[in-house]
Structures are given as C-alpha cells and as structure tokens.
Amino acid sequence: AGSSGAFVLAFTALFDSGARVGLGEPGYPSYRQILSALGLTPVGLPTSAANRLQPVPADVPRDLDGLIVASPANPSGTMLGHTPLGALIDTCAAQGTAFISDEIYHGLHYRDRAVSALELSDDVYVINSFSKYFSMTGWRVGWMVVPPGHVRVIERLAQNMFICAPHVSQVAALAALDARDECEDMRAVYASNRQLMLDGLPKAGFSAFAPPDGAFYIYADVSDLTQDSRAFAAEILDKAGVAVTPGLDFDPKRGGQTLRFSYARSSDDIAEGLRRLQSFMAAR
C-alpha cells in the first residue's frame, strides 16, 4: 500500500480514537482524510509565507497528541533545514507530542539535500516511498522507520491490514535501488523544469510564491486574481488547456486564494504549458 498504508499504520499505532493530530496548512490532503477516517481529529496549523509555508514551534499547540510534517512538502516544495526541523522535534518531545516525518520527496532537492528526522532523533516515525525519487508511483511500495519498541506493534497491524506489498513490487523496488544514475537523470529534468517555472510563471502573472527547495511543485498566492481557486483552475483548464490544482485541496480555509503548479512532466510539456498560461493570462 506504499506510504498511504504507512500513514494508516502510524496513526493506528500511535493514537487512540479522538486524538488530536496537527498538520501544517497548506499540506497533503490525505493526512486529513486518513485521520478523520480513523476517528482521529486533524488539527490544521496555518503556516506563513514568512516561514516558507512550514510549521514552526510557535504554531504547535501544547494539547496535540501528534504532529506530521513533510519536507520537502506537497504542495509548496519547501524544506525544513537541520535547525528548524530539530526545533520542531524538540518541541514535540518536550510536550509529549508524537512526531511523524513524511520524507517521500527526499532525494528530489535542488540545492542542499533534505534533512531526515532520523539525523536528529530516534524517537520519531519516518515514512518514505519509492513513488517519487524512484518514480514508481502505482507500484505501492515504501518503507517506514519507527522506534525499536514500536516495531512489533507495526508488524502486527500490517499483518492484519495489508500482509505485505505485492511481491513483484518488492522485486522491482530492489532493482530500483541500483538505478541511481537513471534517478539522477530524472532529477536533472525536474531541476530544468523548475527553472522554466521560476522564469515563466511570473511572465504569466503568477509571481507570489516561495521558490521550491525540492519535490516538483510550486504553490502560488493568486489572491490578486481570484478568491475562488476552484473556478479559476477550471477556467485555466477550459481556456488554456493547462491543468492546475486549486489550493482548497491543501488548505480548506485559505486555499481559495492559491494554486498548485506541478512540473513533473517533460521539459517540452512544461514549456508549452507556460506558453499557454502566458497567452491565456494576457488575454484575460
């Protein structure tokens, strides 16, 4: 079940029904949905552009049972460096809040590499996958690292919920570990696409965003253009033939003023998409 299964295992192992689990907003929408489906209470933590849309210790209430962070993040692509990530881990440890680090985009960085929570503490849950860096989305295989005392709990839950990842996926994943050259070639394409986006989006009128440190997304503030990102995304798709994601998927309260752009396609596709966006916005 890949990292999605790992979230189910982590949330089930760590929390009882009704527990309050914090997540930064904007953030990956499935965190909220999985938590709700398990009878847990997702607590959105509004982040700020000043903090590059990542949570900081001052954002973390003392009554949280858990906190999940992602670095690089979806939808922003921003990362937490060694010091800010350590500060969040220390804050959670001091107040008895379980810490979960979603590291699915590790390996996809453009300057400094992403810092793992395991470099800072052994008392954390870390979740990763073959879907992004190894480009194996759909094979549904990943891994998680948990404190030694939690391993048997996770094993028992996994045996009852999922049994194991498909055998063919496990074999393919082992082979992927030896495909670093190919993976680095893909990362070079993402880096080129990132630069195309950084240059081209402002020419289309989308300039309010934090340049991504990793992953393959840009999350733009479009409050000067719309208060209804869903309708705006539909208009862009209809008139420009370009698919973008409304921010409401990632931030239920403020997402009407944001859009997520993905650059996980060929460079030719990205260049064509930017050309269409620029033409559409010029005529709008």
Q: pLDDT digit string (tens) for 252-267? A: 999 999 999 999 999 9
CATH of the domain at 273: 3.90.1150.10
| One-letter amino acid of 34 | I
Helix (H) or strand (E) holding 66: strand 66-70
- Residues 48-89 have pLDDT tens digits of 999 999 999 999 999 999 999 999 999 999 999 999 999 999
DSSP assignment string, 186-247: HHHHHHHHHHHHHHHHHHTT---BPPPSBTTEEEEE-TTT-S-HHHHHHHHHHHH----EEG
Domain interval for residue 73: 2-176
119 CB contacts (<8 Å, ≥6 apart)?
A: 82
Q: Are residues 165 and 184 in the same domain?
A: no
- Residues 223-249 have pLDDT tens digits of 999 999 999 999 999 999 999 999 999
Q: Are residues 15 and 138 in the same domain?
A: yes
CATH of the domain at 164: 3.40.640.10
Q: Are residues 102 and 43 in the same domain?
A: yes
Residue finishing a domain among 158, 176, 194: 176
100 in Cβ contact with 69 (< 8 Å): yes
Residue 141: band (very low, low, confident or very high) from pLDDT cuts 50, 70, 90: very high
22 in Cβ contact with 64 (< 8 Å): yes
95 in Cβ contact with 119 (< 8 Å): no
Q: Are residues 172 and 88 in the same domain?
A: yes
Q: Are residues 60 and 198 in the same domain?
A: no
Residue finishing a domain among 176, 208, 237: 176
Q: Are residues 232 and 271 in the same domain?
A: yes
Cβ atoms < 10 Å from Cβ of 116: 16
How far is residue 107's CA from residue 37's CA, in Å, rounded to a whole number? 30
Q: Are residues 184 and 124 in the same domain?
A: no
Residue finishing a domain among 176, 205, 239: 176
Q: Are residues 9 and 100 in the same domain?
A: yes
Give SS3 for 5.
Answer: helix
Single pTM value for the model: 0.96
Domains held by the chain: number:
2
* CA angle 148–31–264, rounded 5-degree value: 105
Helices assigned H by DSSP within the chain: 2-14, 29-37, 82-95, 151-161, 167-176, 180-203, 229-240, 267-283
Q: Are residues 66 and 124 in the same domain?
A: yes
Give pLDDT, residue 135: 96
Q: Are residues 29 and 169 in the same domain?
A: yes
Q: Is the pLDDT of residue 1 over 90?
A: no
Q: Is the pLDDT of residue 199 over 90?
A: yes
Q: Are residues 144 and 260 in the same domain?
A: no
Give pLDDT, residue 2: 86
Give pLDDT, residue 103: 98
Helix (H) or strand (E) holding 44: strand 41-46
Q: Are residues 154 and 229 in the same domain?
A: no
